[in-house]
Chains A and B, each alone.
Chain A
Amino acid sequence: MKVMETGEKTGFVGRLRLRWANDSHFGTVLVLLGLIILQTLVLGFDYDSVGQWFSAWGRNWINILRNNAGVGIIALGMTFVIITGGIDLSVGSTLVAIGAASMMMLDIGPKGFLGNLGITGLPAYVLTVIFAMLMGLVLGALTGLLITKGRIAPFVATLGTMKILRSVTQHFMQGYNPRVPREFLQLANLQVGGLMFMPIIYWLAIALILIYVSQRTVWGRQVIAVGSNERAAQLSGVNVNRVKVGAYTLTGVLVGIASIIQVARIGTMDFANAGSGYEMDAIAAAVVGGTSMRGGRGTIFGTVLGMLIIAVMNNLLNLFGVPPFLREAAKGVIVIASVLFQRKESA
Chain B
Amino acid sequence: MIVEMKNIYKSFGKNQVLKDVSITINGGEICALIGENGAGKSTLMNILGGVLPADSGTIYLDGKPVRFANPAESLRAGIAFIHQELNLINDLPVYENMFLGREIRSRWGRLDLETMEEKTADIFRRMNIELDPRAMVRDLDASYKQIVEICRAIMMDASVIIMDEPTTSLTEPEIRRVFQMMETLRDQGVGIIFISHKLNEVMDICERYMVLRDGELVAEGDVAAVTTDDLARFMVGHDVRTEQLTREVRIGEEVLRVENLNHRTAFRGINFSVRRGEILGFTGLLGDGRSELFQAIFGADEVLSGRVWLDGQEVKIHSTEHALELGIGYLPRNRKENAIIKDMNILENASIVTWPLFAKRGVIDINRQEGLFTEQIDRLGIRLQRITDSINTLSGGNQQKVVLAKWLAARPKVLILDNPTQGVDVGAKEEIYDIILDLAEQGLAIIVLSSEAQEIIRLCDRALVMYQGHIQGEVSGGTMNEHDIMRLATGGVLSAS
Q: Do the two chains bind?
A: yes
The residues of A with any CB-CB pair to B shorter than 8 Å are 2-7, 216-219, 221-222, 224-225, 227-229, 231-239, 296-297
Q: Are B343 and A219 touching (Cβ within 8 A)?
A: no
**Which of B126-134, B315-323, B468-476 is found at the contact surface with chain A?**
B315-323
Residues from chain A with a CB closer than 8 A to the CB of B363 are 216-218
Interface residue ranges of B314-352 to A (CB < 8 Å)? 319-321, 323-324, 330, 332, 337-345, 347-348, 352
Q: Are B369 and A228 touching (Cβ within 8 A)?
A: no
Residue of B nearest to A241 (CB): B319
* Residue B300, interface by CB 8 Å: yes
Asked whether A218 and B387 contact (CB < 8 A) given A4-B348, A228-B344, A236-B320, the answer is no
Q: Are A218 and B330 touching (Cβ within 8 A)?
A: no
Q: Are B388 and A235 touching (Cβ within 8 A)?
A: no
Q: How far is the CA of A188 from the CA of B321 in the complex (A)?
A: 43
**Which of B81-89, B354-362, B429-437 is found at the contact surface with chain A?**
B354-362
A208 to chain B, nearest CB (A): 15
* Residue B298, interface by CB 8 Å: yes
Residues from chain A with a CB closer than 8 A to the CB of B338 are 231-232, 235
Partner of B341, one of A3, A228, A239: A228
Residue of B nearest to A292 (CB): B343
Q: Are A236 and B340 touching (Cβ within 8 A)?
A: no
Interface residue ranges of B379-415 to A (CB < 8 Å)? 386-388, 406, 410
Q: Are A222 and B355 touching (Cβ within 8 A)?
A: yes
* Residue B440, interface by CB 8 Å: no
23 A-B residue pairings within 8 Å (CB atoms) = A2-B345, A2-B388, A4-B366, A4-B387, A5-B388, A6-B370, A218-B359, A219-B362, A221-B348, A225-B341, A225-B352, A229-B342, A235-B332, A236-B320, A236-B341, A236-B352, A236-B353, A237-B321, A237-B323, A239-B319, A239-B320, A296-B343, A297-B343
Q: How far is the CA of A236 from the CA of B406 in the complex (A)?
A: 9
Asked whether A225 and B300 contact (CB < 8 A) given A216-B364, A236-B353, A236-B406, the answer is no
What 9 new A-B contacts, CB under 8 Å, besides A216-B363, A238-B320, A296-B341? A4-B369, A217-B363, A217-B364, A221-B364, A224-B341, A225-B352, A233-B341, A237-B320, A237-B410
Residues from chain A with a CB closer than 8 A to the CB of B370 are 4, 6
Q: How far is the CA of A239 from the CA of B337 in the complex (A)?
A: 18
Q: Are A218 and B340 touching (Cβ within 8 A)?
A: no
Q: How far is the CA of A229 from the CA of B320 in the complex (A)?
A: 15
A80 to chain B, nearest CB (A): 15
Residues from chain A with a CB closer than 8 A to the CB of B323 are 237
A60 to chain B, nearest CB (A): 38
Residues from chain A with a CB closer than 8 A to the CB of B406 are 236
Q: How far is the CA of A227 from the CA of B388 in the complex (A)?
A: 20
Residues from chain B with a CB closer than 8 A to the CB of A4 are 345, 347-348, 366, 369-370, 387-388
Q: How far is the CA of A218 from the CA of B362 in the complex (A)?
A: 6
Q: Which 5 A-B pairs have the closest CB atoms?
A: A237-B324, A228-B343, A296-B343, A239-B321, A218-B355
Q: Are A235 and B339 touching (Cβ within 8 A)?
A: yes
Q: How far is the CA of A296 from the CA of B341 in the complex (A)?
A: 9
Residues from chain A with a CB closer than 8 A to the CB of B344 are 221, 224-225, 228
Partner of A234, one of B320, B359, B366: B320
Q: Are A218 and B300 touching (Cβ within 8 A)?
A: no
Q: How far is the CA of A239 from the CA of B332 in the complex (A)?
A: 17
A210 to chain B, nearest CB (A): 14
Q: How far is the CA of A225 from the CA of B352 in the complex (A)?
A: 8
Partner of A238, one of B352, B366, B369: B352
Max count, chain A CB within 10 A of own CB: residue among B319, B342, B343? B343
Residue of B nearest to A242 (CB): B321
Max count, chain A CB within 10 A of own CB: residue among B352, B362, B410? B352
Q: How far is the CA of A237 from the CA of B356 in the complex (A)?
A: 9
Q: How far is the CA of A297 from the CA of B341 in the complex (A)?
A: 11
Residues from chain A with a CB closer than 8 A to the CB of B339 are 232, 235-236
Residues from chain A with a CB closer than 8 A to the CB of B387 are 4, 6
Residues from chain B with a CB closer than 8 A to the CB of A239 are 319-321
Residues from chain B with a CB closer than 8 A to the CB of A221 are 344, 348, 352, 355, 364
Q: How far is the CA of A237 from the CA of B323 in the complex (A)?
A: 7
Q: How far is the CA of A297 from the CA of B345 in the complex (A)?
A: 12
Q: How far is the CA of A205 from the CA of B298 in the complex (A)?
A: 41
Residue of A nearest to B357 (CB): A237
Residues from chain B with a CB closer than 8 A to the CB of A236 are 320, 339, 341, 352-353, 406
Interface residue ranges of B218-242 to A (CB < 8 Å)? none
Q: How far is the CA of A6 from the CA of B321 in the complex (A)?
A: 28
Q: Are A232 and B366 touching (Cβ within 8 A)?
A: no
Q: Are B341 and A235 touching (Cβ within 8 A)?
A: no
Residues from chain B with a CB closer than 8 A to the CB of A233 are 341, 352
Q: Are B320 and A235 touching (Cβ within 8 A)?
A: yes
Residue of B nearest to A220 (CB): B364
Q: How far is the CA of A236 from the CA of B353 in the complex (A)?
A: 5
Residue of A nearest to B366 (CB): A4
Q: How far is the CA of A196 from the CA of B414 in the complex (A)?
A: 60
A294 to chain B, nearest CB (A): 10
B412 to chain A, nearest CB (A): 10
A5 to chain B, nearest CB (A): 5
B317 to chain A, nearest CB (A): 11
Residue of A nearest to B410 (CB): A237
Q: Are B348 and A235 touching (Cβ within 8 A)?
A: no
Max count, chain B CB within 10 A of own CB: residue among A219, A227, A228, A237? A237
Partner of B321, one of A225, A227, A238, A297: A238
Q: How far is the CA of A144 from the CA of B337 in the complex (A)?
A: 25
Q: How far is the CA of A253 from the CA of B321 in the complex (A)?
A: 26
Q: How far is the CA of A224 from the CA of B370 in the complex (A)?
A: 19
Residues from chain A with a CB closer than 8 A to the CB of B364 are 216-218, 221
Q: Are A224 and B355 touching (Cβ within 8 A)?
A: no
A148 to chain B, nearest CB (A): 12
Q: How far is the CA of A7 from the CA of B387 in the complex (A)?
A: 10
Partner of A229, one of B341, B345, B356: B341
B137 to chain A, nearest CB (A): 25
Partner of A6, one of B332, B362, B386, B410: B386
Q: Are B342 and A235 touching (Cβ within 8 A)?
A: no
Partner of B343, one of A3, A217, A224, A238: A224
B440 to chain A, nearest CB (A): 22
Q: Are B300 and A235 touching (Cβ within 8 A)?
A: yes
